[in-house]
Amino acid sequence: MTKAAAVADFIRAHLPVTAVPGIPALKLHKAGSASGIGRLGEAAPYWAYWWAGGLALARYLLDHPEQVGGRRVLDLGAGSGLVGIAAARAGAAQVTASEIDPNACVAIALNAALNRVAIADITGDMTQGAAPAVDLLLVGDLFYDPYVATRVTAFLDRCVAAGVTVLVGDPWRAPLPVERLVLRAAYEVAEAGAPKRAGVFAYRPG
């Protein structure tokens, strides 16, 4: 059995299918108190938990399908795949995802199938490369760390310069480059069971 197949078996067996807080039409495999997620051997299985930025951005896309309908979309730092799955449900022409965590890539494929949507491709780190061939780049809660934020900001600069529209969901974490963002909407979301306010922003050229 491959490592990916073993991870998929573990997720199916131990991470219960859970309705997305505030978006009951979507469901994802998420870690519960009995999941034993540490057995996957990861330091930080971010994909297994809810993130306020992704929850807000997913809600925004479903509330505003005109933002995504017929467009080619990339979910950057996709985690569980929530934002890309919401984009597909909202009518995106094609959805791809980028993730550096191989276990997250397994979870994205499982969660897409669970919600009966297609994620065309799941790639690794794209932040050092050129702007991808998409119309819309979605960034859910990727400004959680100053080092990651610096790399992501430089990539987003290249993307908007190439004509890609960028939408960011974030609960105003400290490394968020607020000077580059225009607030489109704000939502009260449930991250780790606690209410948290998160914004959805358009990223503007520098």
Ligand X SMILES: C[S@@+](CC[C@H](N)C(=O)[O-])C[C@H]1O[C@@H](n2cnc3c(N)ncnc32)[C@H](O)[C@@H]1O
CB 35 within 8 A of CB 14: yes
**Minimum CB–partner distance for residue 41 and ligand X (Å):** 15
| Nearer to ligand X among residue 1 and residue 82 (C-beta) | 82
| Nearer to ligand X among residue 59 and residue 180 (C-beta) | 59
| Helix, strand, or coil (residue 73) | strand
Indicate the residue whose CB is closest to ligand X. Answer: 54
| Nearer to ligand X among residue 1 and residue 194 (C-beta) | 194
C-alpha to C-alpha distance for 59 and 184, rounded to whole angstroms: 12
List interacting residues with ligand X (CB under 6 A).
46-47, 51, 53-54, 76-80, 82-83, 98-101, 104, 125, 127, 140-142, 144, 148
**Minimum CB–partner distance for residue 135 and ligand X (Å):** 19
| Nearer to ligand X among residue 53 and residue 180 (C-beta) | 53
**Minimum CB–partner distance for residue 132 and ligand X (Å):** 12
How far is C-alpha 98 from the geometric centre of its chain's CA atoms?
9
| Nearer to ligand X among residue 1 and residue 92 (C-beta) | 92
**H or E stretch at 154:** helix 146-161
- The tokens for 109 are 């494929």
| Nearer to ligand X among residue 96 and residue 127 (C-beta) | 127
**Minimum CB–partner distance for residue 75 and ligand X (Å):** 7
Residues 6+ apart with CB under 8 A from 55: 20, 21, 22, 23, 82, 169, 187, 189, 190, 191, 198
**Minimum CB–partner distance for residue 79 and ligand X (Å):** 2
CA atoms within 13 A on the CB side of 102: 9
- Pairing, β 194-203 against β 165-170: antiparallel
**Minimum CB–partner distance for residue 128 and ligand X (Å):** 8
- Tokens 């400290």 sit on residue: 174
